[in-house]
Structure 1
């Protein structure tokens, strides 16, 4: 079956799309472009929503155990940069000695480093260079900026960003986990309009109370104090208590039906049992959702309460993506 002329194939996700944008040597759909924006923004964003989103998505993709060898190498690079005060490159020989396990020889250590370079070329490293007759590992511009953050004392922030970059790169190179992450992001992303309106129903809880007469604020657990305040300070009659205070609420999440997640996951070929298994494990570790167990709405349908930090961050990504789209050539 031929593809209609008004449609095209996204270079990254290989799906038929109505709109594609020229991005370097690729033609990307909006959601793949959004993923690129997401990864780029994490390098510079200090927003707590960014960290929550990145960590929780790494739980969803269940790939922490595969990250450690690569994180060990990255930490070794950071250590050498800190020791010698350089952020542009590290001594290749010293790096090999630092990462070499007692159970392996130099050739094996070099093989692991080559795998690291191949996977993170252009992201963390640029390749091997010669300087004064010695081999050095050249760091990417992005890595240089992060190393400088580390050297200037913002070490926890720098290492957190590096961890996230590694997580995202390994997930992107893993087809199954890449599709799981993409389907989750797209389900939320598609519920945010171009003007930034979140089209999901918020879930709120009482965070406190405020006296309407004097504006004094009480915590959620201080309801009895509020009533005593109205009665004893303002002499309010019991029949008029509710008229003289307001509840302060906070959003603890946004409702997303299981059918919406299922529909998007099926589109990317993610097996239903795999999706449910990952969502259940996310509940176990307190990731993605603000609920302890699977819940059903009044109609008996399963629904999920997605963390507000994740929805807010994807709203930001939507805004940044649309800004980038305005600078790109539309090819379809």
Structure 2
């Protein structure tokens, strides 16, 4: 007898139940129901051990079609095959039962040996399908775990490089964390307001993490320029601007050790986060929607953080001053849509950033 495996026979005819029982009782434990309602009660209790349901259609209390509808509506029954064995053989019935997911339709009167073989084949097929589904689920779990490990490894790689840039530029070490958070806030609010930019949570996480690489090219900028307290000369500023393209060169050389999705977003953000909506940014003077939206978002996050943070060349400005400067175009022209988003999340930004700041009293040189 199959270990713990049962066959449920549902038929109002005792003779039919007896015949079917004799076919399978040596290999399976047999459960019997004389109408559909009793069958559903048995299924509720025994569904985990039932190998197949042999179901008549014409029954007084609840017919086979109604039983099938109930079974089809319960996800936990989806791996229990149902074979309808009935004297009714209309085309309409065949279409209906197969639409409801029946495994086989056998007409009465039937050849006993043929029924036994067909039912056994169906049980084996469904057992194989369950085993295959379990194997696939295990493989998916393993792949997802490997993906999580790769992402963690990739994030450690990003954090290490980004932290190196922060220390070289005498920043607090928290800039990268803040950029991630502000980028996430902007992306979430953008998706709520603009359907075409409704990124899923995974994509928002990837873009926010990729934002950490926005200034990686500053590794190639001399310390004397990177940490100069005063304003940069035109020549020094041109060299400072090259951190966008130098950063992309670094990312290209490291592309083989980065996940492709991170590399793509990191590259765009690194190259284009100083572009401006009116084309007056750098390095490529892109204009409007030619600038990738994720680079535009990081650009706003970066400017806001630079304004409210103390740097060697500037004081920290207050939250409201920083927002006003961005909205008034003092740091370049941004996407009007993103300016609406900035207004929307301004209270959240103010709560996120702590500490007192000084008012702006001189033009801002954004590096």
Q: Greater relative contact order (Cα 8 A, min sep 6): structure 1 or 2?
A: 1
- What interval of TM-score do these two structures reach, taking the shorter chain for normalisation? under 0.3
Please report the TM-score for the alignment, with normalisation by the length of structure 2.
0.19
Structure showing the higher helix proportion among its residues: 2
Structure showing the higher strand proportion among its residues: 1
Please report the TM-score for the alignment, with normalisation by the length of structure 1.
0.20
